[in-house]
Structure 1
């Protein structure tokens, strides 16, 4: 009998199944709304914060296995990287969990204008409508955000204001993480003093008011131009009069000198 016959049958190797690819990778935002970034005082870390209007877009997809909310903020006249101002909310129905992407965390431009809290609030509102009993999976925080103390504090403040629990494994606050939380415990408010929705009618009224203000300014400028033109005419007349008086005075002085020398 050969060794092969004596040896037990070789067990087949187990191959780990590949993770299922999520659908809707190419979905683009389908619904758009206007947002108003309120003018704020200049910030020491992030610079000037003028009045600005931006575009908020979103798309939704759902099937038996999962659901997706894709959020995006566009800045007219300014290009940002693909991963900036973007948030995906994935709901996995078999495990009853909610996952936020990108895994590296929200990357917002411009900073300190309320956009990050707004996106997270929209995500919370959407998830709480149907799945308040699901769990938001915990995740690690990016170390790069902890290198600057102001950036770290701002990030942690945003997360805590939205209902997340931020914890650190070290005294230097470098190894941060967010604990798992139930969807229903998230907070769906944002700072409306920094950022507001602008409806179409409201936008039209704002344009109308701006046009009226421009017309008023143009009227004031015309009046100022008329005053300046009037003052210029008067100034030219006065200059001519003064020139004539100086010439007459010089003539009189010369005449008197001539009379005095020819007597």
Structure 2
């Protein structure tokens, strides 16, 4: 009799569910508005924060299954990475769920109130039609927890918009955001840091800037005329002084000659 070993049971791996292909991948911003970033004091972590104007663009799509709000930011004269300065708000009507993508928002320039502004725009858009839907929770990036100041700023940014941030450990490294109802989100942002600029207001700003330039040109012209006048007077004084010196030298020489030829 021989012992026969039963062949080892092979575990049947369940194939991972395929990701659902989302529509509207080629949708780009169709509506554009200007934003004014107010000048702020230099931040130790993010550096200088001067006055800037940027472009906010958005597009909307909707069908029976889903709705989308796509938001982007353009910085004049500056290019950013592909994953920066954009936020999508996806609505799944079958499950009545709302999702913000990307979950870990990346903004340039940082610490200017732009992140809160984008979340507020997304929350306001969703609350108009689907306040009873729920926003999916998500895990927070561990890298943001390595710096205490960065973590606190991130948590404050989420909590003031109505999200609940929780941690699974005492070191505050494994953080996550809980599900929340759309109607509980706060659709406001820090208007002292960031404001919309309407076309008429922008035109008035340009007109005021043009007037200021003209006034500065007039002042500069007057200063240049004064400088030219002083230069002419200086040239005349130099000539007079040169003549006086020459006359004094001649007179001294004449006196010496008279004294030596008596």
Provide the secondary structure at the position in 2 that maps to 1:243: helix
- The aligned counterpart of 2:147 is 148
- The aligned counterpart of 1:122 is 121
Q: Distance in 2 between matches of 1:247 and 1:149?
A: 78
Provide the secondary structure at the position in 2 that maps to 1:188: coil
Verify: 1:84 aligned to 2:84, yes or no. Answer: yes
Q: Distance in 1 between matches of 2:14 and 2:169?
A: 39
Q: Distance in 2 between matches of 1:24 and 1:81?
A: 21
- The aligned counterpart of 1:133 is 132
- The CA RMSD over aligned residues, in Å, is 1.4
TM-score by length of 2: 0.92
- The aligned counterpart of 2:222 is 223
Q: Distance in 2 between matches of 1:42 and 1:14?
A: 54
Give 5+ residue unaligned stretches, structure 2: 1-12
Give 5+ residue unaligned stretches, structure 1: 1-12
Q: Distance in 1 between matches of 2:162 and 2:102?
A: 19
- The aligned counterpart of 2:26 is 26
TM-score by length of 1: 0.92
Aligned pair count?
250
Provide the secondary structure at the position in 2 that maps to 1:110: coil
Q: Distance in 1 between matches of 2:246 and 2:171?
A: 86
Structure 1 residue 19, shift from structure 2 partner: 3.8
Cα distance 1:234–1:14, how it changes in 2: closer, same or farther (>3 A)?
closer
- The aligned counterpart of 1:7 is none
Comparing 197-206 with 162-171, greater Cα deviation is found at 162-171
- The aligned counterpart of 1:253 is 252
Comparing 113-122 with 148-157, greater Cα deviation is found at 148-157
Structure 1 residue 149, shift from structure 2 partner: 2.0
